[in-house]
Amino acid sequence: MSSPQSQMPQAAPTWQAAPGTSFPSGYTSPIPVVRTHLGNAIASEWTKIKSVRSTMWTLGVFVLLVIGIGTLTGVVVAESDPALDGESPLGLGFFGLLLGSMCIITLGVLTTASEYGTGMIRTTMVACPSRGRVLAAKGVVFFLVAFVVTLVSACLVAFLHVAMLEGDGAKSPTGGEWLKGTVGIAAYVALLGLLSLAVGSIIRHSAGAITIMIGAVLAPLVIALFMFSESLQGVRDALFEYSIPNQLSVFYSNSLSQSGPSGWDPLWIMLGATAVAFAAAFALLEKRDV
Partner 1 sequence: MSRSSVAGMIELEGLTKRYGEKVAVNNLSFTVRPGIVTGFLGPNGAGKSTTMRMILGLDHPTAGDVRIDGKHYHQLKDPLTYIGALLEAKAWHGGRSAYNHLLCLAQSNGIPRRRVGEVLETVGLTAVAKKKTKGFSMGMGQRLGIAAALLGDPRILMFDEPVNGLDPEGIHWIRTLMKSLAAQGRTVFVSSHLMSEMALTAEHLVVIGQGRLLADTSMADFIARNSRSYVRVRSPHRERLLDVLHQAGVVAVESGEGVLEVDGGKAEHVGELAAQHGLTLHELSPQQASLEEAFMRLTAESVEYHAHSGTSAAPPPPQQQQWGDGWKRG
Listed in sequence order, the residues at least 6 apart from 125 whose beta carbon sits closer than 8 Å to its beta carbon are: 131, 134, 290
Out of 61, 64, 83, 130, which residue is the one contacting partner 1 (CB under 8 A)?
130
Question: Residue 168: how many CB atoms within 10 A of its CB?
Answer: 16
How far apart are CB 201 and partner 1 at their closest, in Å?
16
User: Binding marks (x or -) toward partner 1, 44..73, rule CB under 8 A?
Assistant: xx-xx--xxxx-------------------
Our CB check for partner 1 shows the closer of 11 and 79 to be: 11
Our CB check for partner 1 shows the closer of 53 and 258 to be: 53
> Taking the alpha carbons of 39, 41, 46, 51 in that order, is the dihedral positive or negative?
positive
Our CB check for partner 1 shows the closer of 103 and 157 to be: 103
Our CB check for partner 1 shows the closer of 51 and 229 to be: 51
Q: Is 43 in the site for partner 1 (CB under 8 A)?
A: yes
How far apart are CB 26 and partner 1 at their closest, in Å?
4
For 83, how many CA atoms within 13 A lie in the half-sphere containing its CB?
A: 22
Q: Is 85 in the site for partner 1 (CB under 8 A)?
A: no
Report how far apart, in Å, the C-alpha atoms of 171 and of each of 91, 168, 174, 183 are: 12, 9, 9, 20
Q: Which string of b and e fits 188-205 if b means at least 16 CB within 10 Å?
A: bbbbbbbbbbbbbbbbbb
Q: Is 111 in the site for partner 1 (CB under 8 A)?
A: no
d(CA 42, CA 254): 38
The count of chain residues that interact with partner 1, using the rule CB under 8 A, is 56
Q: Which of 84, 22, 66 is nearest to 248 (CA)?
A: 66
d(CA 69, CA 97): 9
Q: Is 230 in the site for partner 1 (CB under 8 A)?
A: no
Stretch near partner 1 under the rule CB under 8 A, chosen from 1-9, 75-83, 208-216, 274-282: 1-9
Out of 14, 229, 231, 258, which residue is the one contacting partner 1 (CB under 8 A)?
14
Q: Which of 258, 63, 268 is nearest to 184 (CA)?
A: 268
The residue ranges that bind partner 1 (CB under 8 A) are 1, 4-12, 14-16, 18-20, 23-31, 33-36, 40-41, 43-45, 47-48, 51-54, 114-115, 118-120, 122-130, 289-290
